[in-house]
Amino acid sequence: MPVTPIEEMSCPVDHTILDPAVQDSPWDFYAELHAQCPVFPVPEIGAVLVTRYEDVRYVLTNPGLFSSSGRGGGTKKGLQVDNALRYQEILRQRGWGHVDTLQRTDPPKHTDYRRRLNRVFTPRRVKDMAAHIDEVSAELIQAVMTREVPTADGGTDRDDRIGETEFVDDFAMPLPGIIIAEQLGLPKSEIRTFKRWADAMLALAMRPLTEEQLMETVETELEAQHHLAAEFERRRSEPTDDLISALVHSHGEGEEPLSMHELQNLMHQLITGGFETTTNALNHGMWLLTRYPVVQARLREDSSLIPAFIEEMLRFEGPVQGLARRATRDVEIAGVTIPTDTMVLVRYGAANRDEAAFDDANEFNIDRDDVHNHMAFGLGAHFCVGAALARQELVSGFTGWLDTTTNIELARPFDGPVHEPSLLLLPVKELPLRFTA
């Protein structure tokens, strides 16, 4: 196969991943890229998309060629480089600038961070938490079921059978939010504050920000940083049985403790991951139940199918559509030369819809034999550290809703795009549901 430099590529696809409409529903775009341009240049931000399953696997399993550190390194472009530079300068002056930890490091440095966290996010620990996660799920569902409904005359009247919920706000955010807050050792009564922090921490990677939005966002992250710094110092003198304390005291004999910069960045990743990704997996799963009533009926008849439903949902509409790597040297993929220091956007969402990897990849099918091959949690050294916890939260959530209802449907059609604009994620704006209890 002849090799073409990325800057000389001519691709017939006339859409871009930077278009909010494509971000809202990228599936046709992915299909076009698979057929015509599996390595797709995004010159506006100095990046390339890698979309085929085997190519994504190649990138993720070769950290020597595709680094997680300094992503976009030598490029002078990016989603919003000037904003990012200003943002970091403000954090350095008034808080703690971002440093590379966990997600943004390669082995062996990544291995050390991972070791410290693996002691908390173990399958055994998650198994021991399952009953508690079930209880939190049940309490949230019960709160929705017993809510009084306003009537047209200004009174209240609750129908004991028919109810409505704004699922994102009532359940999908609170369930993982409460669990991660408890694990971190933060008060669960403040989860809406923590969600506001998570939104700010992700904002620069989601969409271009105006000057006003940039300043509001950095002030929110500074608020989070100084609150967390006080928590770190408290745990140094008063250790507790939570993740913050575990990180503060994670060094062994002869090892240096994590610095304040490292602790801040690890918390940045844990808070954003704990709130955003599982929340949107719950959202997409419930939305799929409304679109596939036959599947909903099957799950009610046989709850043992719920794990298969979850895996297929993660393949079909995973909450993380992709993340970034940096080419450490000129490297060829699918007949295209990617130059050193190019930002490589590995699209898990596209890989999971690759017909070469999954038969009828654009069909939702909970009976797949190979569904566990999906990449919704990544692959290799950077496989999601919270995957076991996320899976348990999803099992608890869907089981609870299916056990306490006989029907779930959309309460009204969506008014405009379903998702917030995001280069990397698939965040649902709102999910109005009607259910029969």
Residue 66: in which H helix or E strand, if any? strand 66-67
What is the sign, positive or negative, of the torsion defined by CA atoms of 23, 42, 198, 397?
positive
Please give the pLDDT value at position 77: 47
According to CATH, the superfamily of the domain at 4-436 is Cytochrome P450 (1.10.630.10)
Region for residue 292 given its phi and psi (left: phi exceeds 0; alpha: psi -120 to 50; beta: otherwise): beta
pLDDT tens-digit map of 123-171: 888 889 999 999 999 999 999 998 866 555 555 555 568 899 999 999 9
Please give the pLDDT value at position 119: 67
| Distinct helix (H) and strand (E) counts, the chain | 17, 11
From 393, 385, 391, 388, select the one nearest 117 (Cα to Cα). 385
Please give the pLDDT value at position 75: 41
Please give the pLDDT value at position 155: 55
pLDDT tens-digit map of 73-83: 434 445 567 88
Which segments in the chain show pLDDT lower than 70?
Answer: 1-9, 71-80, 119-120, 148-160
Please give the pLDDT value at position 82: 80
**What b-and-e string marks burial along 14-28, b requiring 16 or more CB atoms within 10 Å of the CB?**
eebbbeeebbbebee
CA–CA distance, 321 with 146 (Å, rounded to integer): 36
Residue spans per domain, the chain = 4-436
CA–CA distance, 422 with 23 (Å, rounded to integer): 6
pLDDT tens-digit map of 412-425: 999 999 999 999 99
Residue 119: in which H helix or E strand, if any? none
Residue 20 token pair: 């909010």
Kindly report the pTM of this predicted structure: 0.92
Peptide bond into 339 cis (omega under 30): no
From 333, 348, 324, 320, select the one nearest 40 (Cα to Cα). 333
How close are the terminal C-alpha atoms of the chain, in Å?
59
Please give the pLDDT value at position 166: 97
Strand partners, 426: none
Please give the pLDDT value at position 44: 85
